[in-house]
Structures are given as structure tokens and as C-alpha cells.
Amino acid sequence: MKPRIILAGGSGFIGQSLSPFLVSKNYEVVVLTRDKSDHHGSIREAHWDGKTLGEWTQFVNGARGLVNLTGRSINTRHTPEHRREIVDSRVDSVRILGEAIPRCVQPPKVFVQLAGVGIYGDKGERICDETTAPGDDFVSEVCKKWEAAFDSVDSPNTRKVLLRLGVVLGRTGGFLHVLSRLTRWFLGGQIGNGRQYISWIHIADLSRMILQAIDQEQLTGVFNATAPNPVTNAELMHELRHALHRPWSPPVPEFAARTGSWLMGTEASLALVSQRCVPKRFLEKNFEFEFPNLREALANIYPNQ
């Protein structure tokens, strides 16, 4: 019988890549989702609403691991209503999974929670590892509440691992999906002064990090889930233009970025803060990155441009 992994909120961008990857490693995968997804074949689905107990808890019992990917996207205008939804979607899902674990006759061996490097706030050129103090902006406050909910989960028989994600790069969704469209339209210039740092991770390396968190019993606590070589916004846009064969795009002044973000229904601050994070603890555990550098990562994502 294959060991079972539960992916809460696994129907999104990350889950669509993680699920088949785990299946290829001989795991049974059950996705907890509000709506039907595009998963096929050996990947099972169970309905949940992210905040109440239900029949989905039967799959948690006896599972090898529980991975929580749930959270409303922060890539939206941060109105009071959206802010509340952003916080509640994260805190509620952690809380209810935390309630399900002690109800199990056989609790899952490990609970892997995805969070974000946004907890560090705007740190300029300072290098952030897992010991760096949190920031004080809205995204930082969201992340602090998110992590506090995870810390409060009482699971003495379940190992806990928290992964602070950088910007996840993949072709089918997320941050890069938006930037690549703009770049193809020759709107892929640097934003503002371009010196703000972006901590990124190829989705394949993220999947391997999650697998390592599941499989390696010595892993516990907080890890930065980022590539070892963060880049500035100017460097990111230069490499993306290179990958998509767009030799030049005009820079985007900060005021234009703020106007454009409003028109696109998002927040300019998401593109203007600087987070220069390194995966110190994964490097100490000798994690081998398949894509440590941005150019190779983008070449893999856009191989035939």
C-alpha cells in the first residue's frame, strides 16, 4: 500500500505540479479542494471548505504527510475586505488542519506548512536567512499571523516543517505568468529603480524541497524555500527579456507602476519591496538545487522561444 500525502488547497498552481511529482515518487495523493480541479488518474480529491471539519478528515488519518498550500492570493488590491480574506484563508486552514490531527488514531507523520518570505518585509540589500526579524508591513503581518497559527498546532506525534516561499517560477501560473505576458508585449522593463531584490524558486526545486521535508525526519522548524541566488528586479527583467527574445523594454517609473497595478487590480508594493533571502538551512542540509541560477531556470521554463 502506497504512503498517502494530503495536499490541502492542492488544486492551484503549486499543487498542479506537486501532485504528479509526488505520484511519480510512489505516493498516493489526495487533494483537499473547494472545487473540482484538472487532476487526473491516480490523484484523488476530497471536498473541504478550508475552515470546518468534514468527511475529508478520514484521509488525514494514517497519512504519511499533510501539506497545506491554502491561501487567498495576495496579488489583489488590498482593500479591507480582501485583507480580511487573505488573513482568514490562511489562519482558518491551519487551524482546522490542526484540529483534525489529534482526532486521528494514526496522526500524519509530518505537517508541512507553506508560508512566505514576505514575513521579512522590505529589507533593501540586507541578506535574510531564517533568523532575520520580521517586518511590519501588511504582508509581514499576514505572515506573522499565519506562522503563529501553525506554531499553535498541538501535534506531539507529528513533525512540523514551515517553508517560507519566495516567488515561485513556473510556466502555467503565478508571478511569471503575468510578467511573461507583459514582456512579450514589450512591457518588460525594470520597475522603479530596479534595485529591489526578488527571492525566487523554480517550481521543480520547490517540489523537491517539499518531498525532502516529508521524507527526511531530521528536518523540522522554519526553512527559506528560495534559490540561493536572489536577483534584483532589473536583473530579473533582463533575464526574462533574454529568455523571451525581447531585447529591450522601457523602464517602468514607480508612479507608472502604481497606476498600472491599480488598473490590473493588484498592489504596486508587491513589486517594489526588496527581499534578498537565502535558503541557509536547506544549504546546511546539503540540498542540491537543479536550478540555482535564474538564467538556467528561465531556459527550462521557456525552452523553445
Using only C-alpha atoms, what is the Rg of the chain?
19
Question: Which pLDDT score, from 0 to 100, does residue 27 have?
Answer: 97
Question: Which of 79-93, 119-133, 249-263 has the lowest average pLDDT?
Answer: 249-263
Tens digits of per-residue pLDDT, 144-188? 999 999 999 999 999 999 999 999 999 988 889 888 988 999 889
Residue 40 confidence (pLDDT) above 70? no
Question: Which of 213-227, 236-250, 253-267, 268-282 has the lowest average pLDDT?
Answer: 253-267
The 10 Å Cβ neighbour count of residue 185 is: 10
Distance of alpha carbon 73 from alpha carbon 51, whole angstroms: 17
Residue 52 confidence (pLDDT) above 80? yes
Question: Which domains are seen in the chain, by residue range?
Answer: 4-167+201-226+277-289 (3.40.50.720)
The 10 Å Cβ neighbour count of residue 116 is: 23
**pLDDT average, residue stretch 138-142:** 95
Distance of alpha carbon 274 from alpha carbon 296, whole angstroms: 23
Helix %, strand %, coil % of the chain (to 5):
40, 20, 45
Task: Give the residues across from 252 on adjacent strands.
Answer: 191
DSSP per residue, 95-125: HHHHHHGGG-SS--SEEEEEEEGGGG---TT
Question: Which pLDDT score, from 0 to 100, does residue 18 have?
Answer: 97
Task: Give the residues across from 277 on adjacent strands.
Answer: 128
Task: Give the residues across from 167 on adjacent strands.
Answer: 200
